[in-house]
Amino acid sequence: MDFGKKNRLSRVIKSDGRCFFLPIDHGYFLGPTQSLEKPAETIAPLLPYCDALFVTRGVLRSCVDPADPTPIILRISGGPSVVGKDLADESITTSIEEVIRLNASAVGISIFVGSDYEHQTILNLAKTVDQCEKYGIPVMAVTAVGKETEKRKARYLALSCRIAAEMGATVVKTYWCRDFDKVVDSCPVPIVMAGGPKCETELEVFEFVHDGLEKGAIGVNLGRNVWQNPHPVAVARALQAVIHNNATPKEAYELFKELKNK
């Protein structure tokens, strides 16, 4: 790996090999998502506790302070909306010149394996890797399921992750699931876990993150379970303890309880 790509990767994945990405890209197909109506207000208290922000160019330009040191992972795929025909019908939305102009440390792009648009979205990823490799920019592939949440099972996710890795993704973002080790073990590049809809309890979040890390994931790309919680900073700091300080779920929950009333 050349210096540029290594350097960018080391901004988003810390020296312990772990990472906590904070995604706020949901509006690219969901519009003004709950608790993300005003992205600048949502992220301000959270930025000190995450390792990178996953965001579209529009929200980056309008809601993020260019002087903030948090590295940026730029969401560069999109097209359909939640009220449109098919969430999987994505194209590449952002050029490589924009990625460079915005000084992104990495890009993120979705693939929809098994959908009517698997060919198109897998080629989107492959073309993105071609472009990004020229300039040493890491690519995070997002194994998206759209509205088909029942797809979040080890067999399907292992298939999607492996295809993303074969296309040249630097890192793959996927969902935690039962038998998550089967997903991690058959993917030759690092995996980060997405959250999905908000869990019932904070302990549940800490438990699945801890389990995924034990099974080989390098970190998380966790949004709604952080910023839709009434105590987002306490969740973020407890997650940081699980990811970077090997806290157990119980220890993280105790920390969360201590911090939430501060």
As measured in angstroms, the least distance from the Cβ of 227 to ligand 5RP is 8
As measured in angstroms, the least distance from the Cβ of 15 to ligand 5RP is 24
As measured in angstroms, the least distance from the Cβ of 3 to ligand 5RP is 28
Per rule CB under 6 A, is residue 202 in the interface with ligand 5RP? no
The DSSP letter of residue 199 is P
Per rule CB under 6 A, is residue 19 in the interface with ligand 5RP? no
- Per-residue DSSP letters for 201-249? SHHHHHHHHHHHHHTT--EEE--HHHHTSSSHHHHHHHHHHHHHH---H
Per rule CB under 6 A, is residue 25 in the interface with ligand 5RP? yes
* Interface positions, 162-201, toward ligand 5RP (CB under 6 A): 194-196
- When the beta carbons of 35 and 137 are compared against ligand 5RP, the nearer one is 35
Tell how strand 91-92 and strand 77-78 pair up: antiparallel
User: Which residues, 6 or more positions from 158, have their beta carbon under 8 angstroms from its beta carbon?
Assistant: 182, 183, 186, 187
- Rounded Cα distance between 254 and 164, Å, is 37
- Rounded Cα distance between 236 and 74, Å, is 21
CA dihedral 87, 212, 21, 245 (to 10 degrees): 170
Q: Which of 223, 235, 242, 253 binds ligand 5RP (CB under 6 A)?
A: 223
Q: Which of 8, 18, 26, 237 binds ligand 5RP (CB under 6 A)?
A: 26
- When the beta carbons of 67 and 118 are compared against ligand 5RP, the nearer one is 118
Q: Which of 20, 49, 54, 253 binds ligand 5RP (CB under 6 A)?
A: 54
- Rounded Cα distance between 87 and 29, Å, is 8
Catalytic residues, by residue number, are 173
Residues that bind ligand 5RP (CB under 6 A): 23, 25-26, 54, 142, 144, 194-196, 221-225
